[in-house]
Amino acid sequence: MLIKYFFKKLQKKNYPIPSKERCLNNRYRFSKCSKCKDVCPVQAIKWEQDSIIIDENSCTSCGICRSICPSKAIKLKNFGEISALNRAKEKDSLIVECAQGNKEESIKFSCLHGLQEEYLIAFVIILKKKIYFDLSKCKLCTYKKNYNDFLSFLEKIGLFLKALNLDFDYEILNHEEEDGKYAKDKLSRREFFLWIKTSSLYLGRDAAIDAIKNIDEDEFNERKLLLDTMSALKNVKEQYLSKDNGIFRSYHLNATCDGCGACAAICPWNAWEIEEEDKKITIKHNASLCKACNLCESVCLEAAIQKVSFPVNLLFKGYTIKKEIVLAYCKHCSDKYVPKIKNFNLCTKCEKMKNRNTSSKDNSIIEGDEI
């Protein structure tokens, strides 16, 4: 009970910190995103003067707003991720539950719905052991989160790990009477040999665990933890991630891209980069920085941005070239421009001027005929 008391005390001093620069509503005026506000179980989030305001007196630090934010614009310090990993690696039987749980030896979080996908994936890879998620408190929880939402969340984690050719061994505890069940589980002969077979995939994970010890909770970054963990795995970089994996994203730019730079200007995490040389525009994308928020797709007037499946090793290559556009020189004003099929060797500005002049001339002829 003492552990539970101090856990709640620590959590009460910890509040989400929203980033105005990375919030979709602030980045794009036509965005209608209100997920953090809608999902808050205690209505502690509101909008004032184009900024997210969190009522610290109402906030319970559950972390749900952070986990649902599509652009990862909300940070929550001291949610307990690092300490949880350090404690979990010492345990034979691993139970994860919310702060309302009463198991003294369990790994507790303020709310399981506040866990981020990236963290839980790294958690599973690093620990490489069966995890029991105790959801017995969920149905009566004051947060009123849907029990099935967390099951869908776990399914998403399982699909991602499957794409890496890794297993996600977990079990759900629904009732208090199942408390002792986890202690009785032993490795069967079949499970033991499966463990031996897959152990080679986890070479380097011990180095990742050692690195965790030096991470400060205030500086914790879920994305970096996951990338570091994945980079230590054998053969994982040869696997492919689907375009709808929901965590990482890579894109193809089709022929309609005109190099306008809207994608780079709008991205909250600078995942797009535009370089203009003397006669060429180069457009690059960094899959490891992209949060899959879809904002760049929304602002592209040419519908040129298309998500694609990609190899895991792309996550470790930094910015990669997606398109190169050779520039032309306008025959009227000599400015550089992106050539199109019907440009007539004119830049966009001069082409519009030509069309306007042609239209005015035609109107004059029509008016003259009427006279």
Residue 244 lies in a domain: no
Tell me what pLDDT residue 339 has. Answer: 82
Residues 261 and 303 in one domain: yes
What is the DSSP annotation of 199-233? GGGGTTHHHHHHHHTT--GGG--HHHHHHHHHHTS
On whether both 93 and 24 belong to a single domain, the answer is: yes
Q: Is residue 243 part of a domain?
A: no
DSSP per-residue codes, 229-295: HHHTSSSGGGSEE-TT-SS--EEEE-TT-----HHHHH-TT--EEEEE-SSEEEEEEETTT-----H
Please state which of the ranges 145-159, 174-188, 246-260 shows the lowest mean pLDDT: 174-188
- Domain match, 59 and 170 both: yes
Find the domain containing 153 and state its range.
Answer: 2-237
CA distances, 104 to each of 1, 5, 97, 131 (Å): 8, 12, 11, 16
Asked if 61 contacts 16 with a C-beta cutoff of 8 angstroms, the reply is: yes
Do 309 and 160 sit in the same domain of this protein? no
Per-residue pLDDT tens digits for 16-42: 999 999 999 989 988 889 999 999 999
Phi, psi for 331 (deg, rounded to 5): -75, -15
Q: CB-side exposure of 215: number of CA atoms within 13 Å?
A: 22
Same domain, 152 and 68: yes
User: Is residue 223 assigned to a domain?
Assistant: yes
Same domain, 115 and 221: yes
Q: Is the pLDDT of residue 305 over 90?
A: yes
Give the domain-ending residue among 292, 309, 326. 326
pLDDT at 352: 81
Distance CA 129, CA 131 (A): 6
Query: Would residue 245 count as lying in a domain?
Result: no
Q: Which of 237, 265, 289 is the last residue of a domain?
A: 237
Domain assignment present for 336: yes
Whether the per-residue pLDDT at 58 is higher than 60: the answer is yes
> Do 306 and 334 share a domain, yes or no?
no
Residue 81, H or E segment: helix 81-88
Q: What is the pLDDT of residue 91?
A: 84
Is 247 in contact with 292 (CB distance < 8 Å)? yes
Q: 272, 262, 226: which is closest to 247 by C-alpha?
A: 226
The answer to whether the beta carbons of residues 111 and 41 sit under 8 Å apart is no
273 vs 9, residue with greater confidence = 273
Q: Helix, strand, coil: what percent of the chain each, to 5?
A: 40, 15, 40
Q: Let me know if 129 is exposed, middle or buried by CB neighbors in 10 A (0-12, 13-18, 19+).
A: middle
For residues 332 and 157, the model is more confident at 157
Same domain, 146 and 263: no
Q: Is residue 14 part of a domain?
A: yes
Could you tell me if residue 353 is inside a domain? yes
User: Average of pLDDT values for 210-228?
Assistant: 74
Instruction: Flag the least confident range among 160-164, 217-221, 240-244, 261-265.
Output: 217-221
Average pLDDT over residues 199-213: 50
Tell me the mean pLDDT in the region 244-262: 94
**Span 315-344, pLDDT tens digits:** 999 999 999 999 888 888 888 888 876 656
Same domain? 356 vs 274: no
Same domain assignment for residues 335 and 321? no
Roughly what angle, to the nearest 10 degrees, separates helices 147-163 and 117-127? Answer: 60
Can you point out the beta strands (E) in the chain?
17-18, 45-48, 51-54, 74-75, 94-98, 107-109, 131-134, 170-173, 240-241, 250-253, 272-276, 280-286, 305-308, 310-311, 319-326, 328-329, 336-337
Within-domain flag for 348 = yes
What is the C-alpha to C-alpha distance for residues 117 and 50, in angstroms, rounded to an integer? 28
Let me know whether 158 and 256 are in one domain. no
Both tokens assigned to 146: 């849907």
Last residue of a domain, one of 188, 205, 237: 237
In the chain, the number of structural domains is 3
* Count of positions (residues) in the chain: 371
Which CATH number goes with the domain that contains 270? 3.30.70.20
Counting Cβ atoms within 10 Å, is residue 146 exposed (0-12), middle (13-18) or buried (19+)?
Answer: exposed
**b or e along 268-306 (b: 16 or more beta carbons within 10 Å of the residue's beta carbon)?**
bbebbbeeeeeeebbbbbbbbbbbbbebbeebbeeebbe
Are 321 and 336 within one domain? no
